[in-house]
């Protein structure tokens, strides 16, 4: 984990760590065309789960949030892991597919999808701000009438 959202930098650290392990002679069970052997079948392929912690409280309240994430190839869950709830609108957003994609494809696709989520959250924030400003004059008029 690393703050700031620079997925390429995190990936470079991962590659360096794996190269370090490789130089010690430690090997991972790999089957060409299928990927690495893991305990969880959902991790077949690269076995690489890339995630970002995102504060998207307005977007997450939308009834189509899960469907939106799925359509973008994403999974949203609480920051404490699978089957946990969000805390203060912060979600762990990660790639669903690991099989049939390269590591770089996974990073690129996640970055693009995360940008889309950010744009949608920002639009909802702007809409809420406009709605709040539109209500303010009415409240002011009502307050003035009650004072008279």
Find all residues with CB under 8 Å of 22, minimum gap 6, and list them: none
* pTM of this structure: 0.73
Parallel, antiparallel or unpaired: strands 90-95 and 51-55: antiparallel
DSSP 8-state symbol, 45: B
Does the annotation list 77 as a binding residue? yes
Does the annotation list 78 as a binding residue? yes
Does the annotation list 50 as a binding residue? yes
Q: In the predicted model, what is the mean pLDDT of residues 55-65? A: 97
Report percent pLDDT > 90 for the chain: 40
> Pick the residue with more confidence: 67 or 33?
67
Does the annotation list 130 as a binding residue? no
Q: How far is CA 52 from CA 76, 97, 107, in A?
A: 10, 15, 11
Does the annotation list 80 as a binding residue? yes
Q: What is the pLDDT of residues 90-120, one digit of tens each?
A: 999 999 988 888 888 999 999 999 999 999 9
Does the annotation list 33 as a binding residue? no
Banded pLDDT at 140 (limits 50, 70, 90): low
Does the annotation list 82 as a binding residue? yes
Out of 16-20, 36-40, 124-128, which region has the weakest mean confidence (pLDDT)? 36-40
Give the residue among 121, 94, 99 at the shortest CA–CA distance from 10.
94
Does the annotation list 69 as a binding residue? no
């Amino acid at each position: 984990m690393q703050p700031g959202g620079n997925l390429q930098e995190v990936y470079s650290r991962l590659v360096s760590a794996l190269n370090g392990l490789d130089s010690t002679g430690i090997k991972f069970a790999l089957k060409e065309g299928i990927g690495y052997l893991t305990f969880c079948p959902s991790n077949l392929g690269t076995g690489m789960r890339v995630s970002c912690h995102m504060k998207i409280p307005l977007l997450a309240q939308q009834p189509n949030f899960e469907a939106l994430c799925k359509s973008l190839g994403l999974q949203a869950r609480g920051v404490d892991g699978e089957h946990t709830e969000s805390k203060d609108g912060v979600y762990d957003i990660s790639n669903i597919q690991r099989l049939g994609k390269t590591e770089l494809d996974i990073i690129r696709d996640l970055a693009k999808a995360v940008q889309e989520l950010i744009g949608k959250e920002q639009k909802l924030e702007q809409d809420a701000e406009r709605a709040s400003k539109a209500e303010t004059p009415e409240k002011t008029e009502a307050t003035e009438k009650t004072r008279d």
